[in-house]
Amino acid sequence: MKESTEIQTDNKEFTEECHTILTAVSDALYVIGGKWKLMIIIAMARGNKRFTEIQRQVTGISARVLSSELKDLELNGFIVKKVENGYPVSIEYELLPYSQTLEELVNAMTKWGIQHRQKLKAEISSKK
């Protein structure tokens, strides 16, 4: 009888831990999920600050989607939009220090992406 109580307790702890992990991952995906947000941040970290520079660097993104994603990134505190009045008006986007909190994640995803691509190439080569 005592064993089943311990198992239930362990199972409940696992469920709470699982819920915590799922909630955290869900929050992260809500903020940086999708096809474009991390790619925009990476392009900006490499010096691309103007809308057209970012669009040129992030291959395949439309102007409408880029505009929307930049607004989301600004809302979540990753970037700031700087408007310089003059003729013509100059608009640049700048990464905020908070964006550096993604560096470890981007490095891990880069490492995994390279590893995964190599795995797929090796599997295709072995089938020939």
User: When comparing pLDDT for 9 and 70, which is higher?
Assistant: 70
d(CA 50, CA 69): 14
Kindly report the backbone phi and psi dihedral angles of residue 90, in degrees, each rounded to the nearest multiple of 5, phi listed first.
-110, 125
Q: Where are the domains of the chain?
A: 35-126
- pLDDT band with cut points at 50, 70 and 90 for residue 92: very high
* pTM for the full predicted model: 0.80
Rg (CA), the chain: 21
Residue spans of beta strands (DSSP E) within the chain: 79-84, 90-95
The upper half-sphere exposure of residue 61, i.e. CA atoms within 13 Å in the direction of its Cβ, equals 25
Single-letter amino acid code for the residue at 37: K
- C-alpha 1/C-alpha 74 separation (Å) is 56
Q: Residue 79: helix, strand or coil by DSSP?
A: strand
Give the pLDDT of residue 51.
96
pLDDT tens digits, residue range 10-25?
Answer: 566 678 888 899 999 9
What pLDDT is recorded for position 126?
86
CATH label, 35-126, candidates 3.40.50.450, 3.30.1120.80, 1.10.3720.10, 1.10.10.10: 1.10.10.10
Using DSSP, state whether 48 is helix, strand or coil: coil
